[in-house]
Amino acid sequence: MTKISARNIYKNYGAVEALRGVSLDVAEGEIHAVCGDNGAGKSTLIKILAGVEQPDQGELLVDGAARRFDSPTAALKAGLATIHQDLAVAPDMAIYQNIFMGAELTRSVLGLRLLDKARMRRESLGYMGQLNDSITDMNAKVNALSGGQRQAVAICRALRWNANVVILDEPTAALGVRETEQVLQLVRSLKRAGKTVILISHAMKDVAALADRVTILRTGENQITLDGGDLTADNLAHYILSGEVNRVH
C-alpha cells in the first residue's frame, strides 16, 4: 500500500525553482531514501511533508487521502514526524523531558495539575527500549549522550506522537563510525516496529545498506528511482554524478 504520495510538487523561493514537478511514492513499511546533489531539492520536499513549507502546486496524499499540512503540528497529527538535521533537543534537560517536551503528561492531585514525571519516565523507557536498551536512565541529561544516542532521543519523541512515518534528514551527517552504526540500527528498529521511514542522506554506503528504494532528485526534478539489485553504493554515486536517467545493467 502507498503510505505517502507526493505528486507533481512545485515550490519556488522567489526566483529559485527548488522543486519543479517532483513526485515521491513511499510504500507502507519501507525505508525510502531521497538522494541527490546539494541543492537538488531534498530538504524542500521534506519540509513540505513536515508542514514547514507549503507547495505552490501539486498534491500530497496520506493513505490515499489528499492532505495539506499548514503547520508542523498538522503533519505530526497525521502521523508524520520529522527529525531535522539540527535535532532540536534541549541538552540541559533530561531524556524524558526532551521526549515529552511541549506535550507533558500531567496528573491531578487535590484539584491541582502536576507533571506526571513517573509516568513520563516509564513511558520514555518503553519507547527507548524499542530502539536502544542500553539507555536506561531517563533522568540523564541529553548533553551526557553521544550523537547517536541523541538521535535515539529525537526518534523517541516521534514515537511518543505515535508517528507511523518517521522522516530523518541527514541523521548521520555529523557522526563518527560507531555512532553512525548506532543510527543505522535505530532505523532498522523503526522498520521492524512497522514504521515507514523516509531517509535523506549523502552517505551512499548507508543508503545502500538500509533503503528498500531510493528516489534521486536532480535540480528540482525526479531523476530516477532505484530498488533491488540496482541499489548499490556504486550505482547511486554513478547516477548522482552522471545525471543519467536510464538504468544501466
Residues 3, 22, 44, 218: which binds ligand ATP (CB under 6 A)?
44
- DSSP β-ladder status, 31-35 and 196-200: parallel
Residues 38, 108, 134, 246: which binds ligand ATP (CB under 6 A)?
38
Q: Report the alpha-carbon distance of residue 79 to residue 73 in Å, rounded.
A: 10
The one-letter amino acid at 90 = A
CA 133 to chain centroid, in Å, comes to: 21
User: Toward ligand ATP, which CB reaches closer, 66 or 173?
Assistant: 173
User: Toward Mg ion, which CB reaches closer, 117 or 218?
Assistant: 218
φ/ψ of residue 214, rounded to 5: -135, 125
Work out whether 36 is an interface residue with ligand ATP (CB under 6 A). yes
Q: Report the alpha-carbon distance of residue 235 to residue 218 in Å, rounded.
A: 15
38, interface contact from ligand ATP, Mg ion, none, CB < 5-8 Å by kind:
ligand ATP
Stretch that binds ligand ATP, among 11-19, 72-80, 172-180, 230-238 (CB under 6 A): 11-19
Q: Tell me the H-state helices in the chain.
A: 42-49, 72-77, 95-99, 117-131, 147-160, 177-192, 204-210, 233-242
148, interface contact from ligand ATP, Mg ion, none, CB < 5-8 Å by kind:
none
Work out whether 40 is an interface residue with ligand ATP (CB under 6 A). yes
39, interface contact from Mg ion, ligand ATP, none, CB < 5-8 Å by kind:
ligand ATP
Quickly tell me which residue has 524542500 as its cell. 44
For the stretch 65-74, contacts whose Cβ atoms lie closer than 8 Å and that sit 24 or more positions apart, written own/partner, are: none
41, interface contact from Mg ion, ligand ATP, none, CB < 5-8 Å by kind:
ligand ATP
Work out whether 6 is an interface residue with ligand ATP (CB under 6 A). no
Q: Which residues bind ligand ATP (CB under 6 A)?
A: 13, 16, 18, 36, 38-44
